[in-house]
Amino acid sequence: MPLTALAGTLGRKRAAHLLRRVTFGATKAQIDQVAALTTSEAMDLLFIMEDLPDPELPLDPATGQEWLSTPTTDANSSDRDLNTYLKSWHFGQLLALDVAEEYALSYATREKITFLLHTIFTTIESKVANSKFIYYQNALFRQYSFDDNEDPDFNFKTLSKKVCVENAMLRYLDGNTNVLGSPNENFGREFLELFSIGRGLEGTVSTLPAPGDYFNYTEQDVQAAALVFSGFNIDETFSNIDEDTELPKGVIRGGTIASSHDNTTKQFSYRFNDATISPDPDLLQGGAATEESALGEIDQLVEMIYGVSDEAAKNICRKIYRFYVYYNIDEDLDNDIIDNLTQTFINSGYKLQPVLVDLFQSEHFYEAGAGTGNDNFGSIIKSPMDLALGTLKGLEVKIPDYTTDLENYYTFMGSIQQSMNSQGMIYYEPSEVAGYPAYHQFPIYNRSWISTNYLAERYQFIQRLIDNMDADEPGSVGVDVVEFVRDNFSAVAADANDLIIELCRYFLPMNDNLTFDAAGDDSSEITAERLNYFLMAFLYSPQIDPDPEGSWNFRWTNLEDSEVVESQLKNLFNALMQSPEFQLS
């Protein structure tokens, strides 16, 4: 059954929580807009489907033109550089740059779902080694991000089927080398373990029931699945177009006759009730396999996996929950919240969007349900991407315009990529086949984002941005902290204490009942000691005034000593954002 929905308007704290999780950050104005809405109204704003624009194709700065619809030439940048530009372009989509305000939050929501799907159906750029393959995979994920439409076949199961013959995945997991007589089991193994049914709830079972038996599937099933997937190759001409998505896909080896596809009956184990998969005789040509019959077997396989039990649907819902809510799923939560999300998933016809809406509207998501522990606000360590892009969005950083200043846009976003790399996240280059450890690695999960070195790099990113330390470098962008405060917090800016509290309410996830009086620590979500630390960092440099708070009020109100005002605000933002609290979402 659906989760219990939160009643009433969201308010500022819950709105900020929602937008931090559902997008890669939001402006103060966007948080204020959502704060006045009910959860139902917020979902209408976040999931606009009609007239939501698709992104323009990325551009190669060497030519000023896109490189995806035509063959590249010597005039184009190297494919390695094109992959870098592609990721920088996608950062702009994740931030919904240059998108009309009425669509911006919905656009950003959709783009974060494309990233969610990348964490589920992981590929590694260096193995794929083709920027067009990566782009078209990203476009496929985008198409299926918002799937709550009237087409019953437009769902996660269908996306799973299309991923099986998608060029990037064929190359990444060696599907293009899986041929009749010499099966390659890599993709079959990962499809069962990572992309569909999985091995059950992590941490609840310590030993396998038998060698080669993985709770929900066996080695026999891996071998049989490999035969189902056999016979496909990558298509570097991009001429084999999927009739549903109108995107390029892989091609069957042999042309009209799929001569490299294993056309035998595939026998699965007791985990799948001893099911078999055979080619549809109506799709064969003279008894021989065709592309249509091979695709038909993949269709049967996915339907079998999702039909044998609720485990595949439940495994996907666990991934969604860990991505958006909290990494720790115990058996009680698995049997309650995850079970309910799974039923929503199944009842909707395996569509993602109803599951997300059910989750984002729920009391559980906002810790408002009876007996709900205080686990969800601030419970996720921001990924380097969340930290970098969320900071750019929250501080309203003026990023070079993609249309009119392409070179500086790519230079700036390239620096963001480099900073993320130093923080431990190389986009499209996870360290293992299962993807970024933060989204799957029991028991550490998102804590893998933090080490002594990674934390130092996070703090350095903040300092370089706020202090504009690269001001003389091409493409450099900094933050005008005075302008930002004047535009967004002018009502409280003259009072140092009020300004700190107001900034905490927008930038830190835990922000109820804040007070500088230690007597209120029992109810305040940030101690008075921490708030006074921010105050000291703010007002006690570059000089110590006899009355620091009064001096700040005078300077701000009377527009005096602009250099001191700017320096003090930079100190405040550095202290606030180079803090453990700011690393949390």
The phi, psi pair for 10, rounded to 5°, reads -70, -45
Residue environment code for 243-279, b if the CB has 16+ CB neighbours within 10 A, otherwise e = eebebbbbbbbbeebbebbbbeebebbebbeebebeb
* Sign (positive or negative) of CA dihedral 498, 499, 505, 509: negative
Which pLDDT score, from 0 to 100, does residue 371 have? 43
In whole angstroms, what is the distance from residue 25 CA to residue 433 CA? 28
Which pLDDT score, from 0 to 100, does residue 470 have? 65
Which pLDDT score, from 0 to 100, does residue 475 have? 67
Mode of pairing for the β-strands spanning 276-277 and 266-267: antiparallel
Tell me the H-state helices in 423-561: 452-466, 481-488, 496-507, 528-539, 548-558
DSSP for 92-105, written as a single string: HHHTTTT--HHHHH
Q: Which residues contact 211 (CB under 8 A, 6 or more apart)?
A: none
In whole angstroms, what is the distance from residue 234 CA to residue 250 CA? 5
Query: Is residue 412 within 8 Å of residue 475, measured between CB atoms?
Result: yes
Which pLDDT score, from 0 to 100, does residue 287 have? 96
DSSP for 122-141, written as a single string: ---HHHH--HHHHHHHHHHH
In whole angstroms, what is the distance from residue 293 CA to residue 291 CA? 6
Which pLDDT score, from 0 to 100, does residue 221 have? 99
Q: Which residues contact 324 (CB under 8 A, 6 or more apart)?
A: 21, 22, 116, 356, 359, 360, 365
Tell me the H-state helices in 367-432: 384-394, 406-422
Which pLDDT score, from 0 to 100, does residue 544 have? 82
pTM, full prediction: 0.96
- Structural tokens at position 213: 């038996």
524, burial (CB in 10 Å: exposed 0-12, middle 13-18, buried 19+): buried
Q: Cis link prior to 542 (omega < 30° from 0)?
A: yes
For residue 433, the tally of other CB atoms under 10 A from its CB is 16
**Strands, E, within 276-371: which ranges?**
276-277
Which residues is 267 bridged to in the sheet? 276
pLDDT tens over the chain, length 585 residues: 799 999 999 999 999 999 999 999 999 999 999 999 999 999 999 999 999 999 999 999 999 999 999 999 999 999 999 999 999 999 999 999 999 999 999 999 999 999 999 999 999 999 999 999 999 999 999 999 999 999 999 999 999 999 999 999 999 999 999 999 999 999 999 999 999 999 999 988 778 899 999 999 999 999 999 999 999 999 999 999 999 999 999 999 999 999 999 999 999 999 999 999 999 999 999 999 999 999 999 999 999 999 999 999 999 999 999 999 999 999 999 999 999 999 999 999 999 999 999 999 999 999 865 444 556 898 999 999 999 999 999 999 999 999 999 999 999 999 999 999 999 999 999 989 999 999 999 999 999 999 999 999 999 999 999 998 666 677 678 899 999 999 999 999 999 999 999 999 999 999 999 999 999 889 999 999 999 999 999 999 887 899 999 999 999 999 999 999 999 999 999 999 999 999 999
Query: Is residue 197 within 8 Å of residue 216, measured between CB atoms?
Result: yes
In whole angstroms, what is the distance from residue 84 CA to residue 64 CA? 15
